[in-house]
Structure 1
Amino acid sequence: MKGLGSQDPRQLGRNRMVAVIGQGGMGRVLLGESPTGRLVAVKQIHRHLASDVEFRTRFKREVEASRSVTGAYSAAVVDCDVESESPWLATEYIPGPSLRTVIEETGPLSLGGLRLLAAGLAAALIEIHRAGLIHRDLKPGNVLLASDGPRVIDFGIARAFEGDAQLTMTGSVIGSPAFMSPEQAQGQPLTPAADVFSVGAIVAMAASGASPFAGTSTPQVLFNVMNSAPDTSRVPEALRGIVDQCLAKDPQQRPTPEQLLDFVGQIEAEPVWPGAVQDAIAEHRSDSGWWVETTAKHAKYDAQLAGLKAQRQRRVRALVAAVGCLMLLTVTGVTAHRLALQDGHAAPASDLSVTLTGEQWRLLDLCTLLDKSVGGQNGTRSGDFNSSNPGKCSASFKDPGGTSRLFDLSVGGELNGTLSNWIPTGAVAGWMPIYGISVSCDRRIVTQGRPAVAIRMSVSGKSDGCKSSESALLAVANQLAVNPPQLSLPANSIRRVDPCALLDQRLTGEVLGGSLRRSGFPNECGLDGADATLNLGFIERMRPDKLGVNGKTTTIQVDGATVYIDDNDAQYQTCTLVYMARPTHNDMAEVVSLRLATHNELPGACDRAKRVLSTVMSQLPK
């Protein structure tokens, strides 16, 4: 998600808009909050479509039809306005990622996850078809994963059975090629069996990570859908038979949703999402919660500012009326603190969107970013870069007037849940509010991609009312949105890899105990369990055979490889292991650093750490 842009509405009907979820061909999807606190997903139709009389008529009809779908496995319509200049539709908000995103990030589902997916989709089809609708565009992007099962969304091109007409001009096909039925690909009249075919293709994709009709071009995919046998070889045997039936070319040979539901109910696997999927759902829920909390905080802050402005106006009138200037000093401590942070130097930018991928964050060249962002507006660099700590870079810059200041930029790190100790300054970097803390000039913004990344700018030297730190942070955000500078590293660099991606979830759950909470990004992965805490980092530092760990060079063997260990940790139930993955230049190397600390004086920290490190080392780039 990202913040509302300048053109986005702040209110639609009774719903207060919170953030932007995304955008599709029909409209923009916003996260909203109803007066009761219920979260809704609001699709606002694009203006150019809303001006089309035929489209508006069709939209009204389909909204009414969609409101009749009330099953537990679909997102219910809760509000709408089809008569406004920009029609909109509000549905129940599902706090979960799409199936497409989950498969891309975590890989194919287990048999239990596939059973839960297939059963939920079958139950959704029963309700959709009972309402007289055919979805027509069932695909992984239109299936959201909630903690208790899937939800089908987006009835944008659904049509009633009766009087089924072509959606567009003759010869046009609407839908997603890899997941549409053969009859839909050929433009033939559709029956509910077309949706069953789509479910079969979705389950096959979720089982293997690829479409059963994969091709190198859309025409080839469509040809495969109409003429080729599906590739279901990677679907678990317990499901393969029913998936093959769903993918039959002849609609009459496909099972009904009721038959599909009965069949998957007999599979001997617990219907539950894999742990990695549950983590993705929890993270998605946390993301929406953050936006609700943040926008509420800003609404309260704006109200305070409005009250302060009104108070000032009253005081000015009182001053003119000679009541006395002492009234101007009666500002509360909290208000004074906020005013100290709000100096108004940073100007809003125009809808910046800092949406880097995980690899882009990991390969971000912080020193070049600092140089490009700060150098142009603060004169010339007057000292060497200092990047001894991962995720940080600092340098001194001298402005044209000869004043030198030290700029310290850091990216990532622990977000500590909420920004409860930080408060809005009133300035923004694009859609991201700039936060400040205490009376210092440290400034911070937090991106809202997955995962969220904190960007912090600290400026020391001659004070200028925090102007330098806010303008520098704004310049950094601009540079990240337009052209984030990247390190040039070889393909086998471990710094390209997300450390968390190499941790075996079953093993880490066993070693750390219970549910895990992730922290640290982009080159670190912190996991906190009931029994222990683990921190895994992929960094560049002095070679351990030159320095060891904390100056010591004690070694052990892990799977036949030399690993360096800190003996001093043992007394604290902590074990730090360092493995040299790739020498780089001079006495530097890319290293894997793993630190595991047990809770409540539990023994065996190094035994636990070695088990985890073994699985990580086996997956490192060669």
Structure 2
Amino acid sequence: MTEQGPAGPPDARATQIVGADPARYPEAASVDAFEQRLQALVEIQRENSLRRRRKRALIVTSAVAVLLVCMLAGTALFGGGDDDRPAAPTVNPLAALNLTKLRSIDLCAAVKDPLVSSLGEWTKAPSSTQWGSCAGESGGYQLDFDIKRIEGYRDNGKSAEGVPILEDGTSGNDSCGRALLPARTDPQFGIAVRVRGPQSDKLCGVADEAATELAHRISDAPPQLPNFRNSLARQDPCALVDSIVVKLNIGDRVRGAPDLLHTCRWTSTGTVTLALERTKALVPIEKPIPFDLGDGNVVFLDEAELGSPTCVRRWQYRSIDGGDAEVVTVQVDNPTLAEHPEFRCLAAQLVLQNVLDNLPQVS
């Protein structure tokens, strides 16, 4: 056998395979150098492909682990997934009902149809003698509806149609009260329902059903008082008295506050109350007693006012159907002027005149 000499210099045209292990590919007498290199290349490609698959699997596994950690961290930070997220707050459909819009509501029109199905039809149809109130009877129960101040009512989380329904915490065993909460006002007004009847254990169930149905009707479209645009009902009584008149006749830095829906009250050393009412047409006072206070100020009093700490002055704004009228009433209560009732009545007269000056003319 002829002994092979030392290997010659590498062939520059041959491909250098990095990472190949010559010991793994023994040279066969029947395989030429090209086939040896081709076989080595195939094996190396297989190993590289296997390494890449392992590397991708490791990257994917790492990414999944990171994603799981992030999801867990998000759960810890934000209190869970979509199912645990708090629902968006429901918008109160009565949120736009400020005092001006509350004054326009015709409650009797809103409750014309029966509210409580279990009580059946109205046995006494809902009726009203004043704006912002109505009353009717059904199934032996009396239901009263009023737009009024509701500071004594509490929120227990109940609602209907997105409208919060408050409970009257002052109700006794003879009645049960609920109130729909409209826009935030100061003081807070609401649409109240009060139920009275023979079975005390059923009063609040009736009140809940009535309030729920009323919320549905008011939310859809609150019915408006007839001829509201020309009515005293649309006026803000606190805005009808000029500040200078308040200062001179009531007191300095005294502000009026809505006491009832159509009433404003100023309190200082005494109290001045302005009320806009729907009532019976006025009857003139018989034989008023005149008091001439000078400077053209003449005050007329009746005998009852001479010994009373209260003086009332009224003016009929306009006549309406059924012998009723819209009336402006100013009442002054001041016991410090007990000996001079004429001054109380002068204050009432001046405030009334200021109100009439600020009201639109009746067409």
Aligned residue in 2 for 1:577: 313
Could you say if the C-alpha distance between residues 439 and 605 of structure 1 is closer, same or farther in structure 2, counting changes exceeding 3 Å?
A: same
- What's 1:539 paired with? 277
Q: Output the CA distance in 2 between the equivalents of 1:570 and 1:364.
A: 40
1:392 to 109, 133, 143: 133
Distance in 2 between residues matched to 1:509 and 1:358, nearest whole Å: 25
Q: 2:327: which partner in 1?
A: 591
- The alpha carbon displacement at 1:390 in A equals 4.2
- Alpha-carbon deviation of 1:481? 2.5
1:554–1:564 Cα contact (<8 Å) kept: no
Check 1:613–1:433 CA distance in 2 against 1; reply closer, same or farther (3 A cut). same
Which of 340, 349, 352 is 2:92 aligned to? Answer: 352
Question: CA separation in 2, counterparts of 1:477 and 1:522?
Answer: 19
Matched residues, percent identical? Answer: 22
> What are the residue-to-residue correspondences of 1:406-485 with 2, within 5 Å?
406-412=142-148, 414=149, 418-419=151-152, 422-425=153-156, 427-429=158-160, 430-436=162-168, 437-440=170-173, 441-451=176-186, 452-463=188-199, 464-485=202-223
Distance in 2 separating the partners of 1:615 and 1:572:
24
TM-score by length of 2: 0.61
Tell me the residue number matched to 1:383.
124
Q: How many residues align?
A: 256
Q: Per-residue CA shift, 1:552-581, capped at 9, x if unaligned?
A: 556699xx9xx9976524423211111011
1:601 CA displacement: 4.1
Q: Following TM superposition, by how much is the alpha carbon of 1:378 offset from its aligned partner in structure 2, in angstroms?
A: 4.3
Alpha-carbon contact 2:97-2:183 (below 8 Å) kept = no
* TM superposition shift of 1:459: 1.1
- 1:509 maps to 247
The offset of 1:482, in angstroms, is 2.2
Does the aligned pair in 1 maintain the 2:141–2:197 contact within 8 Å? yes
Larger-gyration structure (1/2): 2
Deviation at 1:425, TM superposition (A): 4.9
Is the 1:499–1:523 contact (alpha carbons within 8 Å) kept by the matching residues of 2? yes
State whether structure 2 residue 105 is matched by structure 1 residue 370. no
Matches within 5 A, 1:48-59: none
Cα distance in structure 2, aligned partners of 1:445 and 1:490:
23
Report deviation, 1:490. Answer: 6.0
User: Which stretches in structure 1 are left out of the alignment for 5+ residues?
Assistant: 1-83, 86-348, 398-402
| AA of the residue aligned to 1:483 | A
What is the correspondence of 1:322-361 to structure 2 with a 5 Å cutoff? 351-354=91-94, 355-361=96-102
Residue aligned with 2:112, SS: helix
Question: 2:224 matched to 1:497?
Answer: no
- 1:586–1:368: structure 2 CA closer, same or farther, 3 Å change rule? closer
Separation in 2, partners of 1:594, 1:556: 19
Q: How far does residue 408 in structure 1 lie from its aligned partner after superposition? A: 0.7
CA distance in 2, matches of 1:502, 1:442: 33
Pairing of 1:186-225 with structure 2 (within 5 A) = none
* Distance change >3 Å, CA 407–CA 449, structure 1 → 2: same
Residue type at the aligned position of 2:265: G
TM-score normalised to the size of structure 1? Answer: 0.37
Structure 2 counterpart of 1:524, from 263, 271, 287: 263
1:470, CA displacement in angstroms?
Answer: 1.8
1:55-94 map, 5 Å: none
Post-superposition Cα deviations, 1:233-287, rounded to whole Å, max 9, x if no partner, equal xxxxxxxxxxxxxxxxxxxxxxxxxxxxxxxxxxxxxxxxxxxxxxxxxxxxxxx
Seen in structure 2, the aligned counterparts of structure 1 residues 600 and 447 have a Cα distance that, compared at 3 Å, is farther
Match status 1:486 vs 2:219:
no
What's the CA shift for 1:506? Answer: 2.1
Q: Counterparts of 1:566 and 1:370 in 2: how far apart (Å)?
A: 42
Q: Distance in 1 between matches of 2:115 and 2:300?
A: 39
Q: In the alignment, is residue 620 of structure 1 matched against residue 348 of structure 2?
A: no
**Which whole-Å CA distance do the structure 1 matches of 2:300 and 2:93 have between them?**
42
Q: Contact conserved, 2:279 with 2:324, CA < 8 A, in 1? A: yes
Separation (CA, whole Å) in 1 of partners of 2:211 and 2:126: 18
Amino acid corresponding to residue 261 of structure 2 in structure 1: P
CA contact 1:373–1:476 (8 Å) conserved in 2 = no
Give the superposition deviation at 1:466.
Answer: 1.1
C-alpha distance in 2, partners of 1:367/1:490? Answer: 15
Q: How far 1:497 sits from its partner (Å)?
A: 1.6
Rounded to whole Å, the distance in 1 between the matches of 2:354 and 2:248 is 14
Give matches, 1:125-204, under 5 Å: none
Q: Deviations over 1:188-246 (max 9, x none)?
A: xxxxxxxxxxxxxxxxxxxxxxxxxxxxxxxxxxxxxxxxxxxxxxxxxxxxxxxxxxx
**Distance change >3 Å, CA 443–CA 556, structure 1 → 2:** farther
8 Å Cα contact 2:238-2:258 kept in structure 1: no
Q: Give the secondary-structure state (helix, strand or coil) at the position aligned to 1:457.
A: strand
Q: 1:469 to 1:392 in 2, by over 3 A?
A: same
CA drift of 1:615 comes to 0.9
Query: Shift of the alpha carbon at 1:518?
Result: 0.7
